[in-house]
Amino acid sequence: MTTAIYSNDTLLQELADKAAIRATLNRYSRGLDRHDTEIIRTVFTSDAIDNHGDFVGYSPEFPGWVNDLHERISVGHAHNLTTNLITLHSHEKAHAETYVLFVLARHQKGLVHVGGGRYLDHLEKVDGYWRIALRRVMVEWRFDNTQTVPSERLADLASGRWDGADLSYGVLRNQ
């Protein structure tokens, strides 16, 4: 194994690029879980292709498709990003493999869809911002759980919303 020797500037640029790529990937999950079309659009290049299995298409079509899908099948969902490996190929091209755990509370009371997979992304820097140019979604495992858990103690907590009234918009606006 060889060890690369980086100049401080090169190392700082690599760290900055990887942080910016992670921010793009995190914005994707936030946009998805808040059904925020504008946020989703900021993570893709204008001609990006997203391959979600039953949807393969250009990014302008994707936000509407994915929001409609989630509304049809669930009352709430979360897409949590975990392990992330980013390979920078140049100052403007990179690949990322990101593990995702997803949970969808289905319309049927007590039914929860749980799964895990990976996003395989080709990213490009466009106008100074990292964007997904090609995404391939892989599902590694999934199951449905129909067990219900008493939730009386949760009754006073705020619920997530799929619009600008979600509490997070106020919190993030003030940062």
Indicate whether 3 belongs to any domain. Answer: no
Amino acid letter for position 43 = V
94 domain residue, yes or no: yes
Alpha-carbon 139 to chain mean position: 14
Instruction: Report yes or no on 37 lying in a domain.
Output: yes
Q: How many CB atoms lie within 10 A of CB 32?
A: 20
Domain contains 175: no
Is 151 a residue whose pLDDT tops 80? no
- The structure tokens 């997803």 sit at 102
Nearest of 62, 29, 35 to residue 160 by alpha carbon: 35
Residues 6 or more apart from 76 whose CB is under 8 A from it?
104, 105, 159, 160
Please give the residue range of the domain that contains residue 61: 8-148+157-168
Q: CA-to-CA distance for 103 and 91, rounded, in angstroms?
A: 35
Residue 50, in any domain of the structure: yes
Three-state DSSP state, 107: coil
* Domain assignment present for 173: no
CATH of the domain at 35: 3.10.450.50
pTM for the predicted model, two decimal places: 0.87
Q: Does some domain include residue 124?
A: yes
Burial 75-86 (b: 16+ CB within 10 A, else e): eebebeeeebeb
Q: What are the Cα distances from residue 34, in Å, to 6, 39, 58?
A: 40, 9, 21
Q: Is residue 44 part of a domain?
A: yes
State in Å, rounded, how far the first CA of the chain is from the last one: 43
Helix/strand/coil for 148: coil
Cα distance between residue 124 and residue 147, in whole Å: 43
- The span from the CA of 32 to the CA of 13, in Å, is 29
Give the pLDDT of residue 156. 76
* pLDDT tens digits, 93-146: 999 999 999 999 999 988 999 999 999 999 999 999 999 999 999 999 999 998
pLDDT in tens, 28-79: 999 999 999 999 999 999 999 999 999 999 989 999 999 999 999 999 999 9
- Domain total of the chain: 1
> pLDDT per residue over 78-94, tens digit each?
999 999 999 999 999 99
Residue 172's pLDDT band, with cuts at 50, 70 and 90, is: confident
Which pLDDT score is estimated for 72?
A: 96
